[in-house]
Amino acid sequence: MREIKFRALDLENCEIDEVESIIWKDGKVDAIIMKNLTREIIEDESYDPPYQITKESTYFEDNFILMQFTGLKDSTKFSDLTAEEQKEWLKHHKESEWNGKDIYEGDIVRDVTDGQEYIQQIIFDEEECHMVPQLINNVSECDNICMSDIKDDKEAYEIIGNIHENPELLNGEENE
């Protein structure tokens, strides 16, 4: 079964975090609760039934941007993670369970194929109704491909940033 999860960009603080809960209202996402922020719990009577939310970790309507998990992992090895990232992972998992970083909509990835480097942004293609890597540099006759086409090629992508925290990557600039 495919894992369905989201992360979000907090537009006020420009921080990205995992989404713990999504609050729906009238068939639309009305608010989200961020996973790693825990604060004072309050009752919100505007929902039917009333909903308990955490005051400072809840973001409403235009205060966040949701990004969906593609179901794929990149080629990052556990040893390539920072000490902080390794410590966070080991809180809930074993090192042997590591199999790459989650790839989300909005991520910018590097793919080296036949000696040619491609920088791509992961987008949701509305017409085709699936995630695709869209070329940013080295535009050629290579079409965008469905993310599921690369599911078995674990070495295909390396996450180098995302469109919100690293907009310079959209121009082909790279800070190493």
Give the phi and the psi of residue 100 in degrees, each rounded to 5. 115, 165
**Torsion angle in degrees (nearest 10) through CA of 41, 46, 47, 51:** 10
User: Number of helices (H) and strands (E), helices first, in the chain?
Assistant: 1, 12
- The tens-digit pLDDT sequence of the chain (176 residues) is 678 899 988 887 788 888 888 888 888 888 888 877 544 445 556 655 555 555 455 666 678 888 999 888 998 999 999 999 999 999 999 999 999 999 999 999 988 777 788 888 998 887 877 788 888 765 544 455 555 555 555 566 889 999 999 988 888 666 55
pTM of the model: 0.76
Quick one: CA dihedral 46, 17, 111, 75, positive or negative?
A: negative
